[in-house]
Amino acid sequence: MKKILVGILCLVLLTSIVGVVMAVGTTASVTVNQFLSVTLTSGSPVAFGSMNPGATEAATNDPLVATIGSESNVDADVKTKADDTNFVCVSGLCTVDVDNFAVSNMEWENSLVSPTWTDYTTSDATVCSSVVASGTCDIYHQLTIPSSTQAAGTYSTGITITATAA
């Protein structure tokens, strides 16, 4: 009996010195979301200054530059659209909120090398495709003022620039 007790004590002593180690495995997971940011870094707001009826002129601060944020983890398609169908009188000899002219008189283009001007509408139009993080999209503008029957004054419309995953 003494030998059995000594054996059990030795086993307990040995187990406490060595210890019993058990390990269980698991995993860690995360889903990284798409992240995309765009900033207008120059040319905003689009300005045409003073123009005569019937004239077509480029924006005085061209181009409007949309920059894709360096923190973006997807390429971007940059799009533009008008917020309304018309330029509306906001001040001057024109009748405020009554006198207007079509937003399609304003056009955009992403290169002046061989320009193909596109009329503004209230639908998204892709200006630049697959722009990488820290990349830019240049948007040039020109405006044609309707003929001499257009009332004198300051007219305004909104433009929206968006970036979506390419």
Sheet architecture: strand order including 76-82: 125-131, 76-82, 159-165
**Considering Cα of 92, then 93, then 98, then 100, what sign does the dihedral take?**
negative
CA 18 vs. chain centroid, Å, equals 61
What is the pLDDT at residue 3? 58
Q: How many CA atoms lie within 13 A of 163 on its CB side?
A: 25
CA dist., res. 144 & res. 53, Å (int): 8
From first to last of its 166 residues, the chain has per-residue pLDDT tens of 555 544 554 444 445 555 667 889 999 999 999 999 999 999 999 999 999 999 999 999 999 999 999 999 999 999 999 999 999 999 999 999 899 999 999 999 999 988 899 999 999 999 999 999 999 999 999 999 998 778 999 999 999 999 999 9
Residue 18 φ/ψ, nearest 5 degrees: -80, -40
Residue 16: in which H helix or E strand, if any? helix 2-18
- What is the 8-class DSSP label of residue 62? P
Residue position matching structure tokens 């169908």: 85
What is the pLDDT at residue 4? 58
Strand partners, 133: none
What is the pLDDT at residue 11? 46
Ordered structural domains, the chain, with CATH: 37-165 (2.60.40)
Residue 65: in which H helix or E strand, if any? strand 64-68
pTM value?
0.81
